[in-house]
Amino acid sequence: MDSQFGAAAESVDPTLEADVFVKNCTSRPVLQNVAGRWGTLALVALRAGPIRFSALRRRVDGVSERMLSQTLQALERDGMVHREVHETIPPKVEYTLTELGAQVAEHLETLIHLIEANMPTIHQAQASYRRD
Amino acid sequence: MDSQFGAAAESVDPTLEADVFVKNCTSRPVLQNVAGRWGTLALVALRAGPIRFSALRRRVDGVSERMLSQTLQALERDGMVHREVHETIPPKVEYTLTELGAQVAEHLETLIHLIEANMPTIHQAQASYRRD
């Protein structure tokens, strides 16, 4: 069953263009992994350079160990993040952005800055929405 | 209780800068609403111009009526989307992007195009991740 699964995933027709608006397009889960709750924060935090799991977890305030671990696995699987094990005692595991991950993270950081800079406007909208 | 809630939300210190990396910053749920599973697709679909709920639902393939409705409410509350009721018979409800929503949607579309264009690289990464 596993091999069938692998075969199906690898037989993606390369002449078909990806379209996240199509329900079963393989690009949609990738978008969800990078734009999701923790994916965005992890990718943008990784822009500062190689970082260990514990430091990343402190930076992404509020994420559980389990959620950060799942998030990093998904990002590594999609080729956004590289996980490097250094053979020290104890072993040191560091995460870095791949070239593609760096491009994605740059766009996400621009988006974050846009939202942060517009919080006064957003707060006004939220206040008037409640008054309706 | 409701008024306390409103007061708390409106007493946000305007001299404090927003930072999505801080767990309780009010910018974090806003980021989640625009970058979330359906928020991204709805905002980018709205770039094509005013659209009715049913047409938007067809465009955002796979979204349930309930999820799209919740997504649009959150985006309207955050000042990203404007909901206009035309007093026709039957009444016609159309959704458009606000100025801020249009800026956010532009960045999200760039991100989507980046991912779609890199799907061959991403498929390779996924295939080699399985082989590990």
Say whether A38 sits in a helix, a strand or coil: coil
* A129 close contact with B: CB closer than 8 A: yes
**Contact between chains at B45 and A21 (C-beta distance less than 8 A):** yes
> Buried b / exposed e across B33-63, counting CB within 10 Å, b at 16+?
bbbbbbbbbbbbbbeeeebebeebbebbeeb
Closest to B35 in 3D by CA, of A66, A33, A42? A33
**Is the confidence metric ipTM above 0.95 for this complex?**
no
Strands laid side by side in the B51-52 sheet: B51-52, B92-97, B81-86
Which of A114, A116, A127 is closest, CB to CB, to B19?
A: A116
Q: What is the mean pLDDT of residues A25-32?
A: 96
Phi and psi angles of residue A15, each rounded to the nearest 5 degrees, phi first: -85, -10
Which of B45, B61, B125 is closest, CB to CB, to A22?
A: B61
pLDDT of residue A131: 59
Task: List A residues 77-96 in contact with B (Cβ-Cβ < 8 A).
Answer: 77-79
pLDDT of residue B43: 98
pLDDT in tens, chain B (132 residues): 333 334 444 456 666 789 999 999 999 999 999 999 899 999 999 999 999 999 999 999 999 999 999 999 999 999 999 999 999 998 899 999 999 999 999 999 999 999 999 999 999 999 999 755
pLDDT of residue B16: 75
* B112 close contact with A: CB closer than 8 A: yes
Which of A26, A112, A125 is closest, CB to CB, to B20?
A: A112
Q: What number of C-beta contacts closer than 8 Å exist between A and B?
A: 156
Q: How far apart are CA A101 and CA A74, in angstroms?
A: 12
Residue spans per domain, chain A:
2-131
Residue of chain A whose Cα is closest to the Cα of B102:
A114
- Taking contacts as CB-CB distances below 8 angstroms, the residues of chain A near B17 are 116
**Contact between chains at A35 and B111 (C-beta distance less than 8 A):** yes
pLDDT of residue B85: 92
pLDDT of residue B44: 98
pLDDT of residue A25: 94
Phi and psi angles of residue B2, each rounded to the nearest 5 degrees, phi first: -60, -40
HEC per residue, B59-87: HCCCCCHHHHHHHHHHHHHCCCEEEEEEC
Q: How far apart are CA A26 and CA A128, in angstroms?
A: 39
From the candidate CATH numbers 3.40.50.150, 1.10.10.10, 3.40.1350.10, 1.20.120.450, the one assigned to the domain spanning A2-131: 1.10.10.10
* A64 close contact with B: CB closer than 8 A: no
Beta-bridge partners for B95? B51, B83
Q: Is the pLDDT of residue A95 over 90?
A: yes
Q: What is the mean pLDDT of residues A59-75?
A: 97
- Taking contacts as CB-CB distances below 8 angstroms, the residues of chain A near B130 are 6, 9
Residue of chain B whose Cα is closest to the Cα of A22:
B61
pLDDT digits (tens, 9 = 90+) for A105-125: 999 999 999 999 999 999 999
Q: What is the mean pLDDT of residues A46-60?
A: 96
Task: List A residues 17-36 in contact with B (Cβ-Cβ < 8 A).
Answer: 17-23, 26-27, 30-32, 34-36
Q: What is the mean pLDDT of residues A70-81?
A: 97
Domain B12-131 has CATH 2.60.40.1930: no
Residue of chain A whose Cα is closest to the Cα of B60:
A21
Q: Is the pLDDT of residue A3 over 60?
A: no
